C-alpha cells in the first residue's frame, strides 16, 4: 500500500468535500447507528475553552456494542478499555454557517471517529497534491474510515494494527 495507490483510488471517489451537516448526519446514523440527541445534553461544553458550544448544532451518542467495538478498533488497549464506557461515546458537531462543520468535540477518544471528522472537513482543491502532508493525511483517513477500499485488501488489518500501536494519532503512520 502506498500514497500513489490511495491517490488513484481517491480520484475515482464520489465523496463530498467537505461534507454538509446532512451528509454527516446520514453517515453517522447509517454507518455507526448514531442516535441524535439534543445538543443541550452537552451544555457543560460551554465551560470548555476548546469548544465553541454556542456553535453546537448536532449531537450524537454511540451505544450499539458492535459499533463501540468498531469505532475503537484503532485505539490501544488502554484507549479501547476507556472507550467501552458506553456513557462517554459522544460527538458534538459545531457549525458557524449552518451548512458545514466548523469543529467538533469527540468524547471517548475514538481513533476512527477522528478519521471521520478529518474526512468530514474536506480538503481544498489546491492542497490535493501528493507530497502535501495534509493531503496525504486526508487520504489515509479516507482509507481507514472505509471510503477507499481495495478488493482482497490484506493490508487494512495491518494498518489498523499500526494505528493501535501509534500513540500520536495526529500523524497517521500506516505505510
Residue 64 lies in a domain: yes
On whether residue 29 sits in a domain, the answer given is yes
Q: Residue 161: inside a domain, yes or no?
A: yes
Is the pTM higher than 0.85?
Answer: yes
* CA pair distance 115, 112, nearest whole angstrom: 5
pLDDT confidence bin for 80, thresholds 50/70/90 = very low
- Find the domain containing 76 and state its range: 3-165
- Domain assignment of residue 175, yes or no: no
Q: How many separate domains does the chain show?
A: 1
Does 172 fall in a domain? no
Is 143 a domain residue? yes
Q: Are 70 and 59 in contact (CB under 8 A)?
A: no
**Helix/strand/coil for 114:** helix
Write down the pLDDT at residue 38: 98
Residue 95 inside a domain? The answer is yes
CA distance readout (Å), 156 to 86, 152, 174: 26, 10, 9
pLDDT tens digits for range 2-61 = 899 999 999 999 999 999 999 999 999 999 999 999 999 999 999 999 999 999 999 999
Residue 83 has pLDDT above 70, yes or no: no
- State pLDDT tens for residues 129-166: 999 999 999 999 999 999 999 998 988 888 887 777 66
Q: In the sheet that 56-61 helps form, which strands lie side by side, from edge to edge?
A: 35-37, 56-61, 90-94, 103-107
99 belongs to a structural domain? yes
Amino acid at each position: 500500500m502506498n500514497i500513489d495507490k490511495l491517490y488513484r483510488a481517491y480520484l475515482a471517489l464520489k465523496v463530498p468535500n467537505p461534507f454538509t451537516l446532512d451528509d454527516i448526519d446520514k453517515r453517522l446514523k447509517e454507518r455507526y447507528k448514531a442516535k441524535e440527541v439534543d445538543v443541550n445534553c452537552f451544555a457543560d461544553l460551554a465551560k470548555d475553552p476548546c469548544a465553541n458550544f454556542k456553535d453546537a448544532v448536532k449531537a450524537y451518542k454511540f451505544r450499539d456494542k458492535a459499533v463501540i467495538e468498531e469505532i475503537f478498533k484503532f485505539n490501544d488497549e488502554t484507549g479501547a478499555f476507556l472507550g467501552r464506557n458506553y456513557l462517554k461515546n459522544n460527538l458534538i458537531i459545531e457549525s458557524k454557517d449552518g451548512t458545514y462543520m466548523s469543529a467538533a468535540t469527540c468524547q471517548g477518544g475514538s481513533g476512527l471517529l477522528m478519521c471521520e471528522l478529518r474526512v468530514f472537513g474536506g480538503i481544498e482543491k489546491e492542497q490535493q497534491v501528493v507530497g502535501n502532508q495534509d493531503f496525504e493525511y486526508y487520504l489515509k483517513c479516507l482509507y481507514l474510515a472505509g471510503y477507499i477500499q481495495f478488493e482482497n485488501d490484506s493490508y487494512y488489518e495491518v494498518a489498523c494494527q499500526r494505528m493501535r500501536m501509534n500513540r500520536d494519532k495526529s500523524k497517521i503512520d500506516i505505510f
